[in-house]
């Protein structure tokens, strides 16, 4: 619990970077609209190889294969219910697009080209001459079976005995089809839209190859040069880009895109379906085995390599090969975990063999072959003078006693049955004629091999090229396309989700044309939508054994995507196919990360109360998750597997048209005594409903309302569906109108998960009240609430504060109890539905909530105490970049929250973006208050840009005091954000004063109760940070840490701060020197001035070890009587340029833990790295007893936040959460198990003596 009465792709961002010093920041503070740590300046473009199935079956105008049985005079041939390729009146057939994004013309109903992608005709009677479609027709189906609902028999053939098959196979007018199908005829008199749609289907989608090419072209329309794309057909085994069937992977610029479209649209179907070999070729290309030098697709070690394998489903041909190009891949998933492991037990029998070689040209007749007295031939051959013929005829007659034979040229290979046991005999050939018959002995004893699964499946190929490190020193392929010293073998591939392997690998996505295997497919199979897939995961079903040209090959296509850690899409409509390809390309850009420290259920974990809560986000999709994991109370180790996932549980609470969620927003009605109302259309006011209306109006519009060329061109009906209650239901998580396959009106963006991204909001765990206040009746309140339901509160950028059940060990753990939408974010919620949201992320409720206990009666003019029933637990939260405001809730009863108040820029124009950390505390008169600052960019509108401290009544939200720094203006706003309160006693949460720093490099002391002389001097500039010459400001964006240092019998109040900003794009390339400061406050009206002036502070210096992994400090003495503290510059020797402190420090037991983040702009470090410093905060030196005097350690990844825990061994550790979501457990160098010092939530200061 974080109680602040104590302290303890598509491309996301287009970078327009300028080398700007912190001192040069002016006007509006640059704040990015997406997490900076998930971006890099040198964007690594993912490689995508698109493989087109150009087999002969792709020319067919029917699907599945069994639909070819339906004659023209039968219902099934012209009904989309029986023949998936035939015209579907429920589908809008959009023309394909050119490489430049412009659209083909609609096909002509009276002159439709059979191949609309190639307008060239062949003269009279030519294959592509225009066709008049007048009097064309189709059948609609009204029976009980779903579309393409064929079943398969034990031979894996379509069961022709089912009623549905017979309905489809019925002659028109005959039973059982009669009465189930209705004929619709299209003539020149039909509606223009119907004629155009049918003509577009005929010219652009009628056959499998046309549908695949048109859909692929439309899907790649939006793909630009931020991707590297290549192309190959499955039949072409070479890698010559001069061939019409291959295009090497390169930046998808105008030239590459034009070549891609030309080759795609000109592909001609013929031959077999060697999917396994084609996928192997792609893997070998990524391994640098087929293309080298500048043709090598791999430029960076961290580059992602994707293959999209498109097909009509049934593979055949050669098995896949390993990297050497000759060895079969074998069984690659036998040792994988489910659902990759196929689980099927297959018995492979290995026979002993012998050979007989015939040579010569004399007429010869073979009458028998005897093995150990047993005749194995069933008769005599006809004589021949050709040795190959003699061998072939002989092999055909070897069939007695279980023996079999194969032939190759003039050599017969005889297989002995396993029942005979060990055979060492040499076959004896009986013949007449002069031809020689040379026999060899049977070589080995027979053996039976039983293994899990089958070998050389498509799934095995995908598994091999995912699990095999494709770039290693041993393979000699560590130099990629960029040449030079760039090492592409380092195992740092960027990934997310299931595709998280660090070594170079190929990720496989597969696309099928809606054909069914034996398994029942669902587009949402990863989310539990397929019972068969769930059964495979849970070991109650195995992947079917695949066979060439059988339905099980379709299941193998699905299995290949699972093994390749991609996704499988079975597309029965063009839009489904397009969405499948688009999702693949979107996934390539997505990154998972964390923006804050993890929360814990207890800072001294014990069995049963040892949970960690980690908030995560995923870019591009902009969804999130809250995971609960256990902490080992003895070691601090974090469990690999989550105990629960809030994302997973929340997904089960919504359907297409309904949900079971409890969502509130603020109510100003007297009748709503808890000031909350359900977030439903009926309960919104007219003004609030207006926020969800007119989303296609000229002034406020979603991107899908665009009328531009190539825009979505929504129908009038769809434009009418976008606003209003439908949009509100989308915000609630319902997906009936999302851009998903099967939705008739896909008007909103597609979401894979309901829970939004959590970037700046640290979770807070709340259960029994933890404080030790001596206020009247507080102990009774604690006793009354000791069994309160454990909850985790976290804000998200879906516009809501979420309240999750965190009861230890209960089935409901991780379930959302309720959610709250602060009223100030309502006006912008419509943007969440924008189809272009992946590139236009917005912040909503992004601030970390603060929780504390208050007595609302205290401090009144006639003050009274609170009874146990009057004490409250309240939650206060800001929005960060989501808006200018704070909200407060009463969460005393976690199942029945109450709204208390809201405070926004409408209440005070000087309030900016609420990046401050609300502090819940008491004033001198006993009034419980919430204190926060004016935040960032408070210069707009009528704001003055100065720094302000607000003091509000904690229960009512009434503004009690507003203190002004008088620094900052509308040109250069102050940027006062995080603060801390000085509190003397754990038992009395009364704040004596507050401290905070701003973006201008000022550290301030605020005295709202006028405790420090002289009277009336409520704001004091304690220190000015930054260089004296040349002048350079050092911004403060973190919360100060407060302590008291005793020296020579005198105690000195000390403020610890560090500098650095990481807010906007312009911050990424800033390399100004940043520093850590420890500042003495003399508690006078005069501050310390420019503290870097010689003689004010003692300077400590950092030194980096030779191997660059550790740092130590100087040991300069600090005399607190004569000096005002100490400081230390980061980036020693320019070894870590750009190093800055932008996450809150940790202060425990005399130890100051500081994370110096170093943003990196190079290709394979999307965030950067960090230095973790462990310092004695009395001196700024390494901690006494630290091994090797080490004060700093290099940490992979930028640090998002830190949390210090005390283990049951007495040792303290710091949990370091990086921006990739990884948590590192670091032993604190000052841990002393025998000291007896507790790692409690520390007071706002600590007493440190000599």
644-645/791-796 β-pairing: unpaired
Contact between 661 and 680 under an 8 Å Cβ cutoff? The reply is no
Residue 683 phi/psi, 5-degree rounding, is -90, -5
Residue 1117 DSSP class: -
The predicted pLDDT at position 1248 comes to 35
Whole-angstrom distance, CA of residue 130 vs CA of residue 128: 6
Q: Rounded to 5 degrees, what angle do the CA atoms 620, 621, 624 make?
A: 115
Upper half-sphere CA count for residue 105 (Cβ side, 13 Å): 8
Quickly count: other Cβ atoms within 10 Å of residue 689's Cβ: 16
One DSSP character per residue, 579-640 reads HHHHHHHHHTT--EE--SPPEES-SS-BTTB-EEEEEEEETTTTEEEEEEEEB-TTT-PBPS
**Per-10-residue mean pLDDT for the chain, 1250 residues long?**
29 29 55 79 81 94 91 95 94 93 95 87 56 97 92 82 95 95 97 96 96 93 90 96 97 96 95 95 97 94 93 89 94 89 68 87 91 87 88 86 81 77 80 92 64 83 97 94 86 80 94 87 85 93 90 94 93 80 79 87 88 92 94 92 94 95 96 96 96 76 66 72 92 93 85 95 95 95 95 98 90 95 96 90 96 89 84 98 98 98 97 97 95 96 95 97 96 96 92 97 96 90 84 90 90 96 89 96 94 92 95 96 96 95 91 94 79 95 92 92 91 90 86 35 35
The predicted pLDDT at position 578 comes to 83
Pick the closest to residue 1062 from 1128, 1154, 999, 968 (CA basis): 999
Q: Rounded to 5 degrees, what angle do the CA atoms 170, 172, 175 make?
A: 50
Residue holding tokens 């479609």?
Answer: 133
Whole-angstrom distance, CA of residue 834 vs CA of residue 615: 24
Q: What is the pTM of this model?
A: 0.81
Lookup: tokens for 718? 């769809």
The predicted pLDDT at position 124 comes to 36
Contact between 1177 and 1150 under an 8 Å Cβ cutoff? The reply is yes
Lookup: tokens for 302? 């961290």
One DSSP character per residue, 717-749 reads HHHHHSSTHHHHHHHHT--TTBS-TT-SS--B-
Give strand pairing partners of 1090. 1024
One DSSP character per residue, 1158-1169 reads EE--STT-SSEE
Express the helix, strand and coil content of the chain in percent, nearest 5 each. 15, 30, 55
- Per residue, the 3-state secondary structure of 29-84, as one string, reads CCCCCCCHHHCCCCCCCCEEEEEECCCHHHHCCCCCHHHHHCCCCEHHHHCCCCCC
The predicted pLDDT at position 549 comes to 86
The predicted pLDDT at position 1230 comes to 61
One DSSP character per residue, 331-345 reads --STTPPTTTS---E
Whole-angstrom distance, CA of residue 1058 vs CA of residue 304: 37
Pick the closest to residue 681 from 718, 726, 636 (CA basis): 726
Residue 717 phi/psi, 5-degree rounding, is -65, -45
Measured CA distances, 503 to 669, 753, 788, 832 (Å): 59, 28, 47, 35
Upper half-sphere CA count for residue 102 (Cβ side, 13 Å): 4
The predicted pLDDT at position 817 comes to 98
Provide the Cα torsion 766, 769, 771, 772; round to 10°.
-160
Quickly count: other Cβ atoms within 10 Å of residue 182's Cβ: 12
Q: Rounded to 5 degrees, what angle do the CA atoms 230, 232, 234 make?
A: 150
Whole-angstrom distance, CA of residue 264 vs CA of residue 52: 8
Upper half-sphere CA count for residue 390 (Cβ side, 13 Å): 29
Whole-angstrom distance, CA of residue 261 vs CA of residue 255: 10
**Sign (positive/negative) of CA torsion 772, 773, 777, 781?**
negative
**Sign (positive/negative) of CA torsion 247, 252, 254, 260?**
positive
- SS3 for 363? coil
Contact between 627 and 636 under an 8 Å Cβ cutoff? The reply is no
Whole-angstrom distance, CA of residue 1064 vs CA of residue 1059: 16
Q: For the chain, give the longest Cα–Cα distance.
A: 128
Quickly count: other Cβ atoms within 10 Å of residue 1088's Cβ: 20
The predicted pLDDT at position 1000 comes to 95
Q: Edge to edge, what strands does the sheet with 1247-1248 contain?
A: 1098-1100, 1125-1129, 1075-1080, 1050-1058, 1041-1047, 1247-1248
Quickly count: other Cβ atoms within 10 Å of residue 382's Cβ: 9
Whole-angstrom distance, CA of residue 818 vs CA of residue 802: 6
Contact between 277 and 457 under an 8 Å Cβ cutoff? The reply is no
Pick the closest to residue 570 from 538, 609, 606, 522 (CA basis): 522
Query: Is the link from the previous residue into 339 a cis peptide, with omega within 30 of 0?
Result: yes
Whole-angstrom distance, CA of residue 992 vs CA of residue 994: 7
Lookup: tokens for 561? 């995507």
Give strand pairing partners of 1152. 1147, 1175
Give strand pairing partners of 1054. 1043, 1080
The predicted pLDDT at position 1171 comes to 97
């Amino acid at each position: 619990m974080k109680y602040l009465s104590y302290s303890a792709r598509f491309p996301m961002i287009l970078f327009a970077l300028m080398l700007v010093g912190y001192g040069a920041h002016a006007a509006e503070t640059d704040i990015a609209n997406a997490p900076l740590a998930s971006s890099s300046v040198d964007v690594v473009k993912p490689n995508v190889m698109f493989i087109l199935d150009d087999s002969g079956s792709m020319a067919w105008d029917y699907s599945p294969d069994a639909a070819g049985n339906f004659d023209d005079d039968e219902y099934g041939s012209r009904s989309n219910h029986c023949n998936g390729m035939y015209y579907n009146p429920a589908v809008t057939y959009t023309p394909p697009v050119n490489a430049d994004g412009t659209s083909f013309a609609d096909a002509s109903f009276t002159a439709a080209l059979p191949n609309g992608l190639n307008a060239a005709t062949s003269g009279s009677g030519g294959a592509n001459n225009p066709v008049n479609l007048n009097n064309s027709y189709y059948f609609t189906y009204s029976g009980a079976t779903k579309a393409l609902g064929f079943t398969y028999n034990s031979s894996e053939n379509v069961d022709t005995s089912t009623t549905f098959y017979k309905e489809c196979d019925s002659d028109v007018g005959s039973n059982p089809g009669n009465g189930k199908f209705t004929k619709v005829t299209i003539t020149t008199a039909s509606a223009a839209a119907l004629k155009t749609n049918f003509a577009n289907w005929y010219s652009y989608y009628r056959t499998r190859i046309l549908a695949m090419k048109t859909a692929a072209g439309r899907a790649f329309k939006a793909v630009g040069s931020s991707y590297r794309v290549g192309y190959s057909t499955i039949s072409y085994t070479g890698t010559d880009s001069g061939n019409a069937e291959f295009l090497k992977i390169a930046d998808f610029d105008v030239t590459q895109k034009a070549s891609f479209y030309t080759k795609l649209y000109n592909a001609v179907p013929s031959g077999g379906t060697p999917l396994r070999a084609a996928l192997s070729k792609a893997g070998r290309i990524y391994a640098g085995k087929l293309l080298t030098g500048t043709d090598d697709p791999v430029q960076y070690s961290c580059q992602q390599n994707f293959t999209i394998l498109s097909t009509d489903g049934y593979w055949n041909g050669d098995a896949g090969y390993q990297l050497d190009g000759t060895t079969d891949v074998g069984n690659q998933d036998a040792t994988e975990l489910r659902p990759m492991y196929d689980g099927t037990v297959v018995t492979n029998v290995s026979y002993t063999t012998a050979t007989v070689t015939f040579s010569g040209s004399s007429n010869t007749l073979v009458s028998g072959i005897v093995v150990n007295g047993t005749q194995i031939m069933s008769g005599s051959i006809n004589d021949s003078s050709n040795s190959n013929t003699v061998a072939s005829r002989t092999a055909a007659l070897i069939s007695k006693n279980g023996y079999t034979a194969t032939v190759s040229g003039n050599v017969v290979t005889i297989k002995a049955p396993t029942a005979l046991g060990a055979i060492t005999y040499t076959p004896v050939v009986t013949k007449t004629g002069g031809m020689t018959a040379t026999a060899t002995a049977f070589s080995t004893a027979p053996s039976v091999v039983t293994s899990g699964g089958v070998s050389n499946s498509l799934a095995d190929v995908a598994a091999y090229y995912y699990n095999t490190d494709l770039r290693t020193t041993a393979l000699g392929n560590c130099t990629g396309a960029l040449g030079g010293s760039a090492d592409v073998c380092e195992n740092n591939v960027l990934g997310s989700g299931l595709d998280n392997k660090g070594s170079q690998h190929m990720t496989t996505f597969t696309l099928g044309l809606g054909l069914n295997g034996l398994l029942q497919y669902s587009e949402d199979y990863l989310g539990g939508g397929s019972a068969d897939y769930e059964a495979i995961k849970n070991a109650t079903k195995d992947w079917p054994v695949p066979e060439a040209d059988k339905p099980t090959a379709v299941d193998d296509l699905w299995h290949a995507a699972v093994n390749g850690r991609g996704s499988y899409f079975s597309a029965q409509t063009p839009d489904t196919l397009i969405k499948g390809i688009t999702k693949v390309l979107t996934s390539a850009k997505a990154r998972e990360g964390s923006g804050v420290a993890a929360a814990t259920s207890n800072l001294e974990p014990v069995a049963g109360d040892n949970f960690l809560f980690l908030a995560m986000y995923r870019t591009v999709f902009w969804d999130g998750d809250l995971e609960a994991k256990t902490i080992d109370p003895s070691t601090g180790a974090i469990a690999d597997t989550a105990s629960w996932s809030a994302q997973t549980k929340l997904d089960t609470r919504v359907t297409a048209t309904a949900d079971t969620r409890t969502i509130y927003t603020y109510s100003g009605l007297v009748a709503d005594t808890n000031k909350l109302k359900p977030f439903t259309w009926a309960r919104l006011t007219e003004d609030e409903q207006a926020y969800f209306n007119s989303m296609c109006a000229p002034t406020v519009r979603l991107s899908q309302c665009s009328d531009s060329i190539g825009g979505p061109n929504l129908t009038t009906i769809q434009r009418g569906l976008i606003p209003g209650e439908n949009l509100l239901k989308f915000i609630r998580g319902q997906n009936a109108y999302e851009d998903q396959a099967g939705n008739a009106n896909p008007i909103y963006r597609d979401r894979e998960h309901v829970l939004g991204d959590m970037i700046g909001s640290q979770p807070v765990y709340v259960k029994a009240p933890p404080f030790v206040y001596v206020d009247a009746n507080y102990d009774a309140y604690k006793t009354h609430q000791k069994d309160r339901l454990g909850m985790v509160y976290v804000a998200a950028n879906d516009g809501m504060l979420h309240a999750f059940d965190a009861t230890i060990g209960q089935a409901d753990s991780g379930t959302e109890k309720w959610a709250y939408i602060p009223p100030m974010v309502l006006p912008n919620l419509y943007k969440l539905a924008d189809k272009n949201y992946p590139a236009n992320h917005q912040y909503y409720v992004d601030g970390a909530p603060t929780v504390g206990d208050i007595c609302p009666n205290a401090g009144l003019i006639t003050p009274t105490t609170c009874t146990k029933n009057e004490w409250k637990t309240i939650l206060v939260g800001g929005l960060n970049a989501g808006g200018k405001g704070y909200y407060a809730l009463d969460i005393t009863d976690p199942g029945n929250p109450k709204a208390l108040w809201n405070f926004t820029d409408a209440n005070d124009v000087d309030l900016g973006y609420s990046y401050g950390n609300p502090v819940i505390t008491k004033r001198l008169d006993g009034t419980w208050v919430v204190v926060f600052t004016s935040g960032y960019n408070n210069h707009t509108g009528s704001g003055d840009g100065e720094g302000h401290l607000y003091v509000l009544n904690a229960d009512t939200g009434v503004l009690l005091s507003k203190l002004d720094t008088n620094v900052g203006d509308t040109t250069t706003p102050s940027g006062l954000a995080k603060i801390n309160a000085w509190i003397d006693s754990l038992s009395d949460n009364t704040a004596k004063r507050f401290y905070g720093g701003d973006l201008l490099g000022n550290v301030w002391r605020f005295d709202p109760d006028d405790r420090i002389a002289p009277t009336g001097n409520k704001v004091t500039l304690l220190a000015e940070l930054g260089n004296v010459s040349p002048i350079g400001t050092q911004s403060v964006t973190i919360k100060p840490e407060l302590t008291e240092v005793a020296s020579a019998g005198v105690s000195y109040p000390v403020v610890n701060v560090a500098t650095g900003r990481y807010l906007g794009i312009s911050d990424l390339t800033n390399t100004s020197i940043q520093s850590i400061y420890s500042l003495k406050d003399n508690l006078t009206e005069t501050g310390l001035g420019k503290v870097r002036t010689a003689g004010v502070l003692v300077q400590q210096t950092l030194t980096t070890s030779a191997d660059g992994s550790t740092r130590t400090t100087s040991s300069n003495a600090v005399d607190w009587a004569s000096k005002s503290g100490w400081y230390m510059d980061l980036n020693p020797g320019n070894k870590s340029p750009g190093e800055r402190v932008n996450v809150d420090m940790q202060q425990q037991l005399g130890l100051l833990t500081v994370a110096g983040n170093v943003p990196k702009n190079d290709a394979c470090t999307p965030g950067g790295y960090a230095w973790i410093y462990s310092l004695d905060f009395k001196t700024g030196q390494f901690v006494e007893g630290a091994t090797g005097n080490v004060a700093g350690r290099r940490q992979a990844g930028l640090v998002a936040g830190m949390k210090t825990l005390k283990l049951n061994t007495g040792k303290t550790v710091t949990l370091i959460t990086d921006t990739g979501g990884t948590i590192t457990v670091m032993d604190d160098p000052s841990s002393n198990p025998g000291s007896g010092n507790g790692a409690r939530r520390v007071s706002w200061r600590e007493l440190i003596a000599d």
